[in-house]
Structure 1
Amino acid sequence: MDPDPANQAKANLSMMHSKFICCKLYISESRNAMAIDAIDRAARSDPQVVVISKFEDCLYNRVRYTLVSYVANDSSTGEVIYSPIRKVLLAMIEAAFSTINLESQSGAHPRIGVIDDLSFHPLGQATMEGAAWLAKLVASEISNDLQVPVFLYAAAHPTGKSVGAIRRDLGYYRPNYKGNQWAGSILPDVLPIKPDEGPTHVSHERGATTIGATPWIENYNVPVLCKDVATVRRITRRVSGRGGGLPTVQALALFHGDDCTEIACLLDPDHVSANQVQTVVEQIAAEQGLEVEKGYSTDITKDMILDKYLKIACGAD
C-alpha cells in the first residue's frame, strides 16, 4: 500500500476519471494589468479546473492560458456530456470581453479578436471526438450569447479545415501597422468568408475567434538576431511543412524587440522535436550569415501536463 496521501488521492481521482481535456486559450492582451487580473480571477473560479501554465509576452501583447479538467461521459452511449472546463472558459472569455477593446490593442503578433484562439486537446483516455464536441459546444455559446463570429478548424470542422487556411482567408498574417505589427481590428465589417457559428458582421471591439480540436501541439520559438523580418520569413518558409520543410511544423516570423525576429513554431512532438526545429533554423540562418539564439518552449510537455493536473487537483481537494 502506498503510504503517501498525495499519491492515494491521485489514484482515487484517476479511478473516478480517466478522460481529461486540455484547452489552450489565447487572448490578445498582456499589458493591461486590470484585464489580466480579471481573467485570472475567472480562471480560478472552479478548483476542478487547473491553469497548468500561463505565458505572457508584452511585445506580442498576448497571453496564453493552458487549462486542464476532466470530461464525463454518458454511461450508456459513451458520449461526452460534461466538463467543468466549459464554464470556466466562458467566465474567462466574458472577463476578457469586458476589459479589453481590440480597437485600442496593438502588438507584434497577429490576431483577429480579443479571444484569438481556443484549441482543445484530449488527454488520458479522452477521444478526439470528445474534444471536438466540447470545442463546438463552446463555439456555439460564444457565438450565440456574445455575438462573436467563430471559425471552427481541424476535428471540430466538418471537413477538417486547418486553422492556417482560415487565417489566410481572413488576412490574419498581414501586418497593418508600422510594417510588422498589428493594431486595432484587421477584419472588415462583413467577413470575407462565412463563419461556422455566429454573425457575419464583426464587432471591432471584440473581433472574431477560431476554435478547434487537435492532437497535442507544442509552441517553440527561435530568436534570430536580425531586424529584417522579410529575410527571416524566407528562412521560416524553408522550416515549415507548408514550405517543404519539417512535416507538421507551422512557422511564423515575428518582430520581437529591437534586434530580433522570432520564428514562432507550432509542432507535433510525435513527428518533429524542438531540437530538430532548432537545428534546421541554425543551418539555414548560417547560410545567410545570421546568428541564432537557443529557442524556448512556452509550455510544459504533454507528459507533464496530466501529472501536474492530478497533483494540483488533488491538493485542492
Structure 2
Amino acid sequence: MLESPRAVPPIVECSPNFSEGRRAAVIEAIADAVGAAGATVLDVQIDAEQNRSVVRFAGEPPAVERAALAAAAVAVEQIDLTRHTGTHPRIGAIDVVPFAPVAGATIADCVALAERVGEALARELDLPVYLYGEAARRPERRDLAAIREGQFEGLRAAVDADGARRPDFGPARLGPAGAVAVGARHLVVHGVVRLEPAGDDLAAA
C-alpha cells in the first residue's frame, strides 16, 4: 500500500538589514542568535562603507519569527544610532525586517507574520514599528523610502509632533536603537547576467 505523501511545511525567508557593517563581532552575534532560534542562515552581506549588513535566513514561520526577535534583541543592545555613520539611509539599529514566502506559504501568511513580529518588537524591545510593503496599514507606507524620510535624525525630531509619522506599534519616540520597518514582500531573486561581446557577424548586422 502506497503511503500518502507528507505535507511540505511552509517556508518563509527573512532578510533583516542592520545598521552595522564595521564590527564583525556584533554581526556574528546577530547571525548566531538567528541560528540558535532554529532558523537557517542563508548568507550574510556586510558593507563597511554603508555601515550596514544583511543577515538572510529561512525556515518554518515559528522559527523565523523567533530568529527575527532574537536578532533584533542583539541589535538593540549593541547598536547606537546616535553614534552611527554610514552612507545608507536608516532609521534603526535593526532597520528593516522583510518577510517573503518561499514554499507552502502565501504573502498573506507573511503579512500576519510581520504583524506579529512588529507587535512583539514594540512590546518586548520598546521599538517604534512601522508596517510597510504588503503589510502596510497606510497607503503611503507601502513605500519604504517614505518611512525613512529624514532618516533616524529627522524621524526622531518629527515622530511625536507629526501625527502622520507616528508608528503602527510602540512608542512615539526614538531611543538610541531608533525605529524599525517590518513588512511583507514577494521573494526577491538575485542573479548575475553576463554580457558577452558581440561577434563579428552580429556587429555587422
TM-score, scaled relative to structure 1: 0.54
Q: 2:20 matched to which residue of 1?
A: 29
Tell me, yes or no, if the aligned pair for 1:140 and 1:197 is still in contact at 8 Å.
yes
Match among 104, 110, 116 for residue 131 of structure 1 = 110
Distance (whole Å) between structure 1 residues aligned to residue 127 and residue 24 of structure 2: 24
Q: Cα offset for 1:187?
A: 2.7
2:183 maps to 1:212: yes
- Say yes or no: does 1:201 pair with 2:173: yes
Judged with a 3 Å threshold, the aligned counterparts in structure 2 of structure 1 residues 40 and 18 are, in CA distance, closer, same or farther, namely closer
- Deviation per CA, 1:266-316, whole angstroms, max 9, x where unpaired? xxxxxxx875xx9xxxxxxxxxxxxxxxxxxxxxxxxxxxxxxxxxxxxxx
Give the whole-Å Cα distance in 2 for the aligned partners of 1:186 and 1:207. 11
What's the secondary structure of 1:66's corresponding residue?
strand
Quote the residue 1:187 is aligned against. 155
By how many angstroms is 1:159 displaced?
Answer: 4.7
**Cα offset for 1:147?**
1.2
Q: Does 1:108 align with 2:82?
A: no
User: 1:153/1:274 Cα in 2 relative to 1: closer, same or farther (>3 Å)?
Assistant: farther
**SS at 2:6 equivalent:** helix
The one-character-per-residue Cα deviations of 1:102-121 (angstroms, maximum 9, x if unpaired) are: 11111111101111100100
Moved over 2 A (4+): 14-18, 158-161, 163-168, 184-190
Q: Secondary structure at the match of 1:148?
A: coil
Residues 19 and 124 in structure 1, CA contact (< 8 A), matched pair in contact too:
yes
The alignment-based identity, stated in percent, is: 28
Question: Which residue does 2:99 correspond to in 1?
Answer: 120
The TM-score normalised by the length of structure 2 is 0.81
1:65 to 48, 55, 67: 55
- Structure 2 unaligned segments of length 5 or more: list them: 196-205
Q: Report the residue type matching 1:162 in the other structure.
A: R
Does the 8 Å contact 2:31/2:55 carry over to 1? no
Q: Considering only aligned residues, what root-mean-square deviation do their CA atoms show, in Å?
A: 2.4
Gaps in structure 1 of 5+ consecutive residues: 1-13, 72-82, 173-183, 220-272, 279-317
Contact 2:95–2:181 (Cα < 8 Å) also in 1: yes
Instruction: Describe the SS at the equivalent of 1:139.
Output: helix
